[in-house]
A and B are shown apart, each in its own frame.
Chain A
Amino acid sequence: MNSRFLILIALLGLPRLGYGQNPFGLLHDGHHIVSVGIHANPSLNANADYLFAFEQKDGTFQRFGLMTQANFPLFSQQGIDFDFRIGAGALVGIASNFKALMLLTWNFSRTADVNGQYFHTGLKIDVLPGYYGTNWAFAPHLSLSYQPFIHIEHSEYAKQAFQNLYPSGSGSFTAPKNGWFYQTHLMIQTGVSVAYFQSTWSLNLTAGFQHQPNRFGLLLFPDLGMLPFYGGLNFGYSVL
């Protein structure tokens, strides 16, 4: 096992802070790319990523990479939340400078608020098909996040909602349910991404609209933190 492989394993083990994505490291010349960024979706997060990029090739599948990301929520109220992601990305050549960056990540996340603690896991796929020039890239950003599994541990506050429910003092429902659940949790993002890159570093900005499908067709409900926008800024640097 060579030292490079050990470094790769160690860096992939880093926690990832935030919900951003930075496959733009695949445009660097280097193999070990770290990046930091800040994202709003619409909650505010900082993120740190590590990307290991394999050798560049000609043809359709021009480069593969493995990445890990740790997201760290800003202004958190209830303890330490985390969002740790591992995944793989690819740069796909379609025609000349028309290429697509693709990223598939799997997250393990802990979120807590006054209602309870949630551990949830799922997948996110990002696709950025567009123009990839010598130093600039412009691409629409399309992503789909699916979080089917969640473990909920309700707080005392959530449990209190079930107290004194029945005038007789007894009934079928005495507390919310703790445990593992499945849910239809989808998040769709459509936006645009702009990146400037050199051989050893890159800067990219992504912004757009997001929507969580629901039976009401709700897009905007600021009282409950629902805004249909997301955005993020990432800086990546090749360390080796």
Chain B
Amino acid sequence: MRHLCLLLPLLFSIYACESLDTIGALVPPTVDQDRSLPSVAVNVAGRQRLIHVRTFGNPSNPPLFILHGSFTDTRPYRNICESLADKYHVVIWDQRGCGLSERITEEEFTLETAVEEINAMKNIYAPNQKVTLIGQSWGGGLATLYTSKHPEKVAQLLLIEPMPLTAQDMQQLFSTIVQFGYDNGSWNNFARHGQALSPRDHEQLDYRAMMILRSTMTASYHCDGNNPPEWPIHRVGGFLEYVRNQRLGNPLSGFTYNFTDGIQNYRDTVRILGGACSSLGYKMQLQYSKSHFPSAEVIEIQNAGHRMNMEKFDDVMRAIKSFLKAY
């Protein structure tokens, strides 16, 4: 009886607890988990997946796709979408595995399927038209890759601080972009997070990945690295980030990608925006990215880092609109 009394509180505790795998316990649901979120179905890599998508502006306007960066989703770009909605039909979506889009398996993500995904979205929203592409960071690299593969499908290309566009560029720049180190408090916090929450499943990994947006590991992206600008997101796709890293390579065994193979077939001028503060900013873009394109111009956004549309929105929109033909 005495033992039973000791066991009862324990059994009650277990009963009262909820599983950490409960949808919405840590991160928002994805579109397959909450069908009231806006989505479209696409067939990519032989699998049908639901994509979280938002559109802005009149569908009869010229189509414009915005491709988001890594460790993020579409949410921080909505200010750009709304600003361009008067002249364009802006389509922005959480790339497969990211944000509120359905999670995917490792086999479903390659650089080829990332291009296939843009084609799938184009088939839905702009089947018979060229599309204007704006991409930031990883999205800038992806926009460049898409344009390299399908120059005939791209009306205009604008890149906001694209990541290094080739493996060689990345190898040279990696140490200036990312800082690991025990004295870096945020990295230690990442490591210690695992003592409390195991990266057992997607939700736990996504929750952990969200921390990176407030970490100092990417301090060189910002004017004040210890206080990065706000960058609101719904969900960082932790597993997708892992898979993407696998596909791109790493500084030890080497990077293995080239987004610019074929870009010489795209003859129009590409505009690149670079912040004055960022390690991926104006100077880097001028020195590394510009030369990959037959014709490119680099615009500096003063007092801005990698999150320039949050920091200097008006300046960014001036730089975007002065390039886009509809304005």
User: Which residues in A have some Cβ–Cβ distance to B below 8 Å?
Assistant: 19, 40-44, 73-78, 81, 83, 109, 111, 113-115, 118, 120, 147, 149-150, 152, 157-158, 160-168, 171-173, 176-177, 179-187, 212-216, 218, 221-227
Say if the beta carbon of B32 comes within 8 Å of chain A: no
Q: Are A43 and B198 neighbours in the complex by a CB distance under 8 Å?
A: no
A183 to chain B, nearest CB (A): 4
Task: Report Cα–Cα, A156/B111, bound state, in Å.
Answer: 35
Q: 17 other contacts beyond A111-B193, A165-B234, A216-B199, with CB at 8 A cut-off?
A: A43-B189, A75-B185, A113-B211, A115-B193, A150-B197, A162-B234, A168-B36, A171-B36, A177-B25, A181-B20, A182-B20, A183-B200, A212-B194, A214-B205, A216-B205, A223-B217, A225-B192
One of A83, A114, A167, A173 near B34 (C-beta < 8 A): A173
A162 to chain B, nearest CB (A): 5
Q: Which of B123-131, B145-153, B239-247, B313-321 contacts A (4 or more CB under 8 A)?
A: B239-247
Q: Are B197 and A224 neighbours in the complex by a CB distance under 8 Å?
A: no
Q: Are B191 and A43 neighbours in the complex by a CB distance under 8 Å?
A: yes
Mind listing 25 A-B residue pairs with CB under 8 Å? A43-B191, A44-B188, A74-B182, A75-B183, A75-B185, A77-B185, A77-B189, A109-B195, A120-B195, A147-B196, A149-B13, A161-B233, A162-B24, A164-B75, A165-B37, A167-B38, A173-B29, A173-B34, A179-B17, A181-B22, A183-B200, A215-B201, A223-B245, A224-B209, A224-B211
Task: Report Cα–Cα, A109/B202, bound state, in Å.
Answer: 24
Say if the beta carbon of B207 comes within 8 Å of chain A: yes
Q: Are B201 and A225 neighbours in the complex by a CB distance under 8 Å?
A: no
Q: A173-B34, A182-B19 are in contact. Are A223 and B210 (CB under 8 A)?
A: no
Q: Are B199 and A226 neighbours in the complex by a CB distance under 8 Å?
A: yes
B168 to chain A, nearest CB (A): 21
Q: Are B194 and A181 neighbours in the complex by a CB distance under 8 Å?
A: no
Q: Are A214 and B201 neighbours in the complex by a CB distance under 8 Å?
A: yes
Task: Report Cα–Cα, A213/B212, bound state, in Å.
Answer: 22
Q: Are A111 and B200 neighbours in the complex by a CB distance under 8 Å?
A: no
Question: Chain B 49-63, CB within 8 Å of chain A: the 1/0 string?
Answer: 000001000000000
List residues of chain A with CB within 8 A of the CB of B25. Answer: 176-177, 181
Q: A78-B189, A118-B197, A215-B200 are in contact. Are A183 and B234 (CB under 8 A)?
A: no
Task: Report Cα–Cα, A42/B197, bound state, in Å.
Answer: 14
Those of B74-111 within 8 Å (CB) of chain A: 75, 100, 106
List residues of chain B with CB within 8 A of the CB of A114. Answer: 189, 211, 214-215
Q: Are B211 and A111 neighbours in the complex by a CB distance under 8 Å?
A: no
Task: Report Cα–Cα, A183/B217, bound state, in Å.
Answer: 29
List residues of chain A with CB within 8 A of the CB of B212. Answer: 223-224
One of A41, A44, A167 near B54 (C-beta < 8 A): A167
List residues of chain A with CB within 8 A of the CB of B207. Answer: 115, 158
Q: A74-B188, A216-B239, A225-B191 are in contact. Are A176 and B196 (CB under 8 A)?
A: no
Q: A171-B34, A183-B19 are in contact. Are A227 and B191 (CB under 8 A)?
A: yes
B236 to chain A, nearest CB (A): 9
Task: Report Cα–Cα, A113/B28, bound state, in Å.
Answer: 19
Q: A171-B36, A177-B22 are in contact. Are A150 and B196 (CB under 8 A)?
A: yes
Chain B: how many interface residues by the 8 Å CB criterion?
67
Q: Are A185 and B200 neighbours in the complex by a CB distance under 8 Å?
A: yes
Q: Are B199 and A186 neighbours in the complex by a CB distance under 8 Å?
A: no
Q: Are A76 and B199 neighbours in the complex by a CB distance under 8 Å?
A: no
A119 to chain B, nearest CB (A): 9
Task: Report Cα–Cα, A132/B132, bound state, in Å.
Answer: 71
One of A44, A83, A218, A226 near B182 (C-beta < 8 A): A44
Q: Are B13 and A43 neighbours in the complex by a CB distance under 8 Å?
A: no
List residues of chain A with CB within 8 A of the CB of B187. Answer: 225
Task: Report Cα–Cα, A157/B325, bound state, in Å.
Answer: 38
Task: Report Cα–Cα, A221/B208, bound state, in Å.
Answer: 12
B92 to chain A, nearest CB (A): 13
Q: Are A73 and B188 neighbours in the complex by a CB distance under 8 Å?
A: yes
Q: Are B27 and A176 neighbours in the complex by a CB distance under 8 Å?
A: yes
Task: Report Cα–Cα, A237/B144, bound state, in Å.
Answer: 63
Say if the beta carbon of B271 comes within 8 Å of chain A: no
Say if the beta carbon of B190 comes within 8 Å of chain A: yes
B267 to chain A, nearest CB (A): 37
List residues of chain B with CB within 8 A of the CB of A115. Answer: 193, 207-208, 210-211
Q: Are A113 and B189 neighbours in the complex by a CB distance under 8 Å?
A: yes
List residues of chain B with CB within 8 A of the CB of A214. Answer: 198-201, 205
Which residue in chain B gives the minimum CB-CB distance to A162?
B28
Which residue in chain B gives the minimum CB-CB distance to A217?
B106
Which residue in chain B gives the minimum CB-CB distance to A215?
B201
Task: Report Cα–Cα, A167/B209, bound state, in Å.
Answer: 25
List residues of chain B with CB within 8 A of the CB of A224. Answer: 190, 199, 205, 208-209, 211-212, 238
Q: Are A182 and B22 neighbours in the complex by a CB distance under 8 Å?
A: no
A169 to chain B, nearest CB (A): 12
A96 to chain B, nearest CB (A): 38
